[in-house]
Amino acid sequence: MDKQLLWLKKFSETCGVSGDEGRIKALMLERLYGFADVSYDKLGSVVFTNACKDNKAPKIMLASHMDEIGFMVKHITKEGFLKFVTLGGWWEQVMLSQRVTVHGDKGDLVGVIGSKPPHILSPEERNKVVQKRDMYIDIGVEDEKQARKLGVHEGCFVTPYAEMAVMGDGKTLLGKAWDNRIGCAVMADVMENISRKPGKNTVYGVATVQEEVGLRGAQTSVNMLKPDVAFVIDTCVAGGTPGVADDIAPAKIGKGIAITIFDAGMIPNTALRDFAMDVAKKLHIPTQISISEGGATDGGRIHLHGEGVVTLTFSIPTRYIHSHQSVIHLNDYLGAVKLITEMVRELDAKKYQQLLKA
């Protein structure tokens, strides 16, 4: 496995649900060591800065959230089973019988979300979706006392378990947490590129926390940085699979980086959107559009800061997001890095003024 895939494997497999992003934060610090100055907001987001000496140069924020969806232990039954709350948006049908990692005080524990075998299901149960409130995690202990002795308690974080794998064509990648670790990988690559050849602007690469539970790190970090322009780097629902219509999810994996024209939290700056299209055309980078009527990104908070921030969201098309396993394509990732790097380099004070007047 080459160096690039090894980094993607680390990004995917590192645990970091909302509120427990420390491991992925450490990985981001390792990845960008020596390429940027480091600071933090008070909620836990980490900021990588390449500063321009010109005070009139535009300030550009590249935002990608670190957290993945997961769970938190809320109760331990007397038999030693763990009841939980969900962190982020889960659909019940993708949860049962899935392996998880329980992060106890004395180390990580293997767990599985329990399910009834079909042999003992009644006819009514076979046609009924099991509700999250009725689910539990089995960690293989005798009782509550043994669970607590192993360091499990109310408030423990729980992460989905999956290993990254390269699929049939050699460029399709299966793994957990691509939402939004692939965005973190894109941001890190862009920040390294900018450090090697800076543009006429100040660039903040921000790995935000708690996006999946309300875009919280985006709000605190934008308050701290007060940027002029923001590029949000995230994932979008990929179409092209059975049962998913093109008008619901037009972007497909392997067909290019998706430029979001609408989501439930933001209508992007149209001048910045058109600028992205122009740069992509000039560099022969394939692009698609993304529309999300039922979801939003960190841009929903960022673009409303102060008097407003000129904001656009780039999305890596991803199949099966918000489950234990999802699928992306390497070409979309590489195209995103190339496009965003060039846009940042071209976005000087003159271009920023043109965006404001458009």
Catalytic residues: 211
Count of CA atoms in the C-beta half-sphere (13 A) of 94: 15
CA nearest 236: which of 301, 275, 178?
178
3-state class (DSSP) for residue 174: strand
State how far the Cα of 12 lies from the Cα of 68, in Å rounded to an integer. Answer: 10
Distance from C-alpha of 118 to C-alpha of 69, rounded to nearest angstrom: 28
* DSSP element (H, E) containing 218: helix 216-225
Buried b vs exposed e over 205-226: b needs ≥16 C-beta within 10 Å? Answer: bbbbbbbbbebbbbbbbbebbe
Between CA 37 and CA 48, with CA 42 as vertex, the angle to 5 degrees is 20
Residue count of the chain:
358
What CA–CA distance (Å, rounded) separates 357 from 237? Answer: 33
- Which pairing describes strands 172-175 and 202-208: parallel, antiparallel, or unpaired? unpaired
Query: At 328, is the secondary structure helix, strand, or coil?
Result: strand
